Structure 1
Amino acid sequence: MDRDVRRVASRLISVATGSMDEKTDWEVHVIYAPTEKNAFVLPGGKIFVFSGLLDVTKDDAGLATVLSHEIAHQMARHSAEKLSQANLLGVLYLVASLFVDPSYLQFGRAMSSLLLELPNSRQCEQEADQLGLYLMAKACYDPAQAVALWQRMKAAEMASPPQFLNTHPSTDSRIENIRALVPQANMKREAANCPNQDLTRSFFDSFSPNTVY
């Protein structure tokens, strides 16, 4: 389990490293939590994958979809942006508390979350989806499998809040956005001179245990 995650992550990181201006000390950690279907990245390239997610990823392409998304967050410095935004809002609330009734301040905090923080988080997620899709394509994974992964994720997820109250795009919206990007991702895969999948599959199929010589 750990070895599979690190093997796929290593292939993606080798491609991502060539696209980044600064050095990142990547670390990949697999946390044993069978019921938790999640992954996240911390500033500095610390990626955490919960073992329950592997029931949904199923294969290398599914893993690549998730890991490339998290790597893309680091490439775009989304974690650092969120921390900076949180620090700025914290200072503003502290100053405002000196002059404004606390009840109004609570309302203002809720509105800033709804109007500023949540849309920004959704925008970061959409950007990570796009960057991640291109990254997995350059690493020679089939980008169409990202659609399949999110379809499995939709089947596995329980009721979620409306998209405008969620830090992530709705899964249906995410699937449609990714599907629209697949042709561009395929072009990047072709530009990376990846081996032809059909030929590779035919070669290995010729050594199937059921083959009669």
Structure 2
Amino acid sequence: MHPLRPLPRAPAHFITRTSASILSFSPRYSTRRIQPFLRRPLSQSLPRANNWPRPPRDPYNYHDPHYRLSQAKPLVTRNGIRRFIRSPSLHTTIVLAVLGAVAFYFSNIQTVPVSGRRRFNCFSQESVEAASAAQVRRIEFEVEHSGRHFLSDWDPRSMMVRRVMQKLIPVSGMADAKWEIRVIEDPHTANAFVLPGGKVFVFSGLIPIARNEHGLATVLGHEIAHNLAEHGGERMSSQIGVNILLYSAILLTGGLAIFGTSFFGSAILDLLFSRPMGRRQESEADYIGLMMMAEACYDPRQAVGFWQRMERAQQGEPPEWLSTHPSNHNRIQKIQEWMPQAMEKMKQSDCQGTSAFANIFRQAMEKGVVIIRQ
């Protein structure tokens, strides 16, 4: 007998082809399904169908932004508001913010020597002048694009304004400022203002109401007094407090009261704080301006006539409590009360522009001394 011999192994390509031919007749394993297996010679398992879960169909068209918006969860809920209000970190933040605001407020309190009024002012005169530079450019832009123009220096109205300012500047205590005097051709506007830094703007419609240099000195002295008393920085500082109150209310309500607070809140704060403070500032400027024009040897009695003419020109003005300015009637009454002191100031003045009153006012500002109580 011949010893048993191992059967010869068929070549690998023969087994592969045979297996492929046999499996090709099976309905479960077709050539198309076995093809990936044939391409993987090291694999020992038959190919399987992909059993991974397919993403569900989207019967509601989930990619539609309107559908997604309708299914979105609300950003603010009652439970979320309760957790926010009860949060210890919120309470700590509020306490620290209030303490910081109170400390900042009282560290910037000043006493106005004219009326003894206590005020909050956190802006230096340099920062106020920098802010007024942008306002000057805005005024120049508006004049150029509104069809109006600035009068030349040789115009009689410009020369009249310059003569008055030449007498008022030495008694203002601000002779070192870079004064610029411009008259705007606008016969329908009776107004004048002096911006910080010595920028003077006068509308030509004011000159017929002033009639002469004494009447013009009344209003220009009043406007210069606003700068001498640093009312510009006080107005800017007051806006900080108003904004802090408004944004605090919006934050504490979770942003729900943003529209009502921004509109009604600002209007209420304006009536309660800004407008009354504006009327006190105007009264202080009336007193300072009256003393300045008297020291410059302008007749302070003509200030009464100027404000009477202004009252007739401003028929239908709003009530005093709705305005930042006192009514012309109350303004005239106050000026008449100050008239004896103003007349004495004019008699004592040597009309040389010594700026005695302005220096007294600045010294009183530094020491907190009250000159006259309103």
TM-score normalised by the chain length of structure 1: 0.84
2:323 to 141, 145, 166: 166
Output aligned runs, 1:67-86, within 5 Å: 67-86=220-239
Give distance in 1, aligned partners of 2:351 and 2:164: 16
SS class of match (1:98): helix
Report the equivalent of 1:189.
346
Give distance in 2, aligned partners of 1:62 and 1:154: 14
Higher-helix-fraction structure:
1
Report the equivalent of 2:163.
7
Give distance in 2, aligned partners of 1:94 and 1:46: 34
| CA deviation after TM superposition for structure 1 residue 98, in Å | 2.5
Output aligned runs, 1:35-114, within 5 Å: 35-100=188-253, 101-102=257-258, 103-114=260-271
SS class of match (1:97): helix
Q: Quick one: which amino acid aligns to residue 290 of structure 2? A: L
- Give CA deviations for 1:77-136 in whole Å, capped at 9, x if unaligned: 111211221234234423432233121443221111001000000000000000000000
| CA deviation after TM superposition for structure 1 residue 194, in Å | 4.8
Q: Quick one: which amino acid aligns to residue 6 of structure 1? A: R
SS class of match (1:141): coil
Structure 1 unaligned spans of 5+ = 196-213
- Give CA deviations for 1:171-193 in whole Å, capped at 9, x if unaligned: 11111111111110011111113
Q: Does 1:144 align with 2:301?
A: yes
The size of the alignment, in residue pairs, is: 192
Output aligned runs, 1:25-36, within 5 Å: 25-36=178-189
| CA deviation after TM superposition for structure 1 residue 155, in Å | 1.5
| CA deviation after TM superposition for structure 1 residue 27, in Å | 2.3
SS class of match (1:47): strand
| CA deviation after TM superposition for structure 1 residue 42, in Å | 1.8
Structure 2 unaligned spans of 5+ = 1-156, 353-374
Give distance in 2, aligned partners of 1:115 and 1:13: 35
Give distance in 1, aligned partners of 2:278 and 2:206: 21
Give distance in 1, aligned partners of 2:276 and 2:348: 33
Q: Which of the pair has more CA radius of gyration?
A: 2
SS class of match (2:251): coil
Give distance in 1, aligned partners of 2:334 and 2:181: 27
Report the equivalent of 1:24.
177
Name segments (4+ residues, structure 1) moved above 6 Å: none
| CA deviation after TM superposition for structure 1 residue 23, in Å | 4.3
CA contact (8 A) 1:137 1:143 kept: yes
Give distance in 2, aligned partners of 1:50 and 1:167: 20
- Give CA deviations for 1:50-75 in whole Å, capped at 9, x if unaligned: 11000100001001001100110110
CA contact (8 A) 1:43 1:80 kept: no
- Of 83-92 and 175-184, more deviation after overlay is shown by 83-92
- Of 36-45 and 96-105, more deviation after overlay is shown by 96-105
| CA deviation after TM superposition for structure 1 residue 4, in Å | 0.6
Identical amino acids, percent of aligned pairs: 46
CA contact (8 A) 2:301 2:339 kept: yes
Give distance in 1, aligned partners of 2:226 and 2:180: 14
Give distance in 1, aligned partners of 2:290 and 2:334: 11
CA contact (8 A) 2:282 2:325 kept: yes
SS class of match (2:182): strand
Give distance in 1, aligned partners of 2:261 and 2:190: 37
Give distance in 2, aligned partners of 1:168 and 1:177: 13
SS class of match (2:252): coil
| CA deviation after TM superposition for structure 1 residue 29, in Å | 1.7
| CA deviation after TM superposition for structure 1 residue 39, in Å | 1.1
SS class of match (1:161): coil
